[in-house]
Amino acid sequence: MNAGIIGIGRYLPEKILTNHDLEKMMDTSDEWIRTRTGIEERRIADEKINTSDMAYEAAVKALEDANITAEDLDLILVATVTPDRPFPSVACIIQERLGARKAAAMDISAACSGFMYGIITAGQFVQSGSYKNVLVVGAEKLSKIMDWKDRNTAVLFGDGAGAVVIGPVSEGKGIISFELGADGSGGKYLYQDEYISMNGREVFKFAVRQMGESCINVLEKAGLSKSDVDFLIPHQANVRIMEAARERLELPIEKMSKTIHKYGNTSAASIPISIVEELKAGKIKDGDLIVMVGFGGGLTWGAIALRWGR
């Protein structure tokens, strides 16, 4: 059985926080943030909106797009490092709200790589024939774990959610190859106690190396070459990291998704949020070879080569 993305949706909070707004809150500048990260603005969820609310909204759209109901779901996986509370999981909260009575539910903790961990796990259940429809959501309210006095991290992140339904697709479509990895020895470079704490330079070095390598590895596993890639969807953490992956694949600029200027780093939500953006812009077409690649705290990483379409 081939497993692919059969439906997709996203939720973005309405409130926009620009770099100029941040200039009034801390010692930073629009120029510094834009040139170092590529970020111009990000969305911040209201006090009243929690991660599960955003996950729910994105999930409803993904189910509609897949043309299935919540009762058709066998499993719900929510990738998040900002659950409403340690338990019950966000997955269980939205299972109830959606009315997905048949579905098992759990959260995945792999920071910004969480969405890659989620869709690869979902793909295994579908490929084996154990499950038919698996909802995978990446949802984050990072604003609640950001230290608004720390300019090193507060300028980087945003809130949002993206969801996909992973289900059976026709021959030749869907997930072709994947890679997942972790290196716990790098946990000290990016973690949360009360707030996010980061050694930006170490994370940057790791990310540049890992993003490029993972892209090459999934292509090799799939028996494909760089020139076969139609579109690259990198985790949106820093435009310079994304550019390094694009250059490694020798792709022209128009073949890489860039949404970081509008949404900042939304962690596990950044890849599905970006896919929706590119679909709306008509940049992803049926039959395209898509490479998705992410990295994050843990340290963790993941990549997929996927043929778009049902």
At residue 150, the 3 state secondary structure works out as coil
The answer to whether 67 contacts ligand ACO (rule: CB under 6 A) is no
Long-range pairs, 91-98, Cβ under 8 A, ≥24? 91/137, 93/52, 93/55, 93/56, 94/52, 94/55, 94/56, 94/59, 94/137, 97/52, 97/56, 98/56, 98/59, 98/60, 98/63, 98/70, 98/73
Residue 130 in contact with ligand ACO, rule: CB under 6 A: no
SS3 state at 2: strand
User: What is the Cα–Cα distance from 44 to 51, expressed in whole angstroms?
Assistant: 12
Residue 79: CB minimum distance to ligand ACO, A: 11
Which residues are identified as catalytic? Answer: 112, 235, 265
Site string for ligand ACO, 183-222 (x = CB under 6 A): -------x-------x-xx-xx--x---------------
Nearer to ligand ACO by Cβ, of 213 and 230: the residue is 213
Q: Does 155 bind ligand ACO (CB under 6 A)?
A: yes
Size (the chain), residues:
310
Closer to ligand ACO by CB, 27 or 254: give it: 27
Q: Is 176 in the site for ligand ACO (CB under 6 A)?
A: no
Q: Which residues contact 223 (CB under 8 A, 6 or more apart)?
A: none
> In whole angstroms, how close is the CB of 81 to ligand ACO at the nearest point?
7
- What tokens does 201 get? 């330079």
User: Binding to ligand ACO by residue 112, rule CB under 6 A?
Assistant: yes
Q: From residue 283, give the alpha-carbon distance in Å to each of 141, 277, 290.
A: 28, 9, 11
Please select the residue that binds ligand ACO; options are 38, 168, 297, 302, rule is CB under 6 A.
Answer: 297
Going across the sheet that includes 104-108, the strands are 2-11, 160-169, 134-140, 75-79, 104-108
Spatial CA neighbour of 162 closest among 259, 257, 270, 82: 270
Does 152 bind ligand ACO (CB under 6 A)? Our answer is yes
Note whether 151 binds ligand ACO by CB under 6 A: yes
Q: By rule CB under 6 A, what string of x and - marks binding of each residue 249-288 to ligand ACO? A: ----------------x-x---------------------
| Part of the chain binding ligand ACO (CB under 6 A), chosen from 7-15, 33-41, 128-136, 213-221 | 33-41
The secondary structure of residue 87, as a DSSP letter, is S
Among 80, 238, 257, 274, binds ligand ACO (CB under 6 A): 238
Binding site for ligand ACO (CB under 6 A): 28, 32-33, 36-37, 111-112, 151-152, 155, 190, 198, 200-201, 203-204, 207, 237-238, 265, 267, 296-297
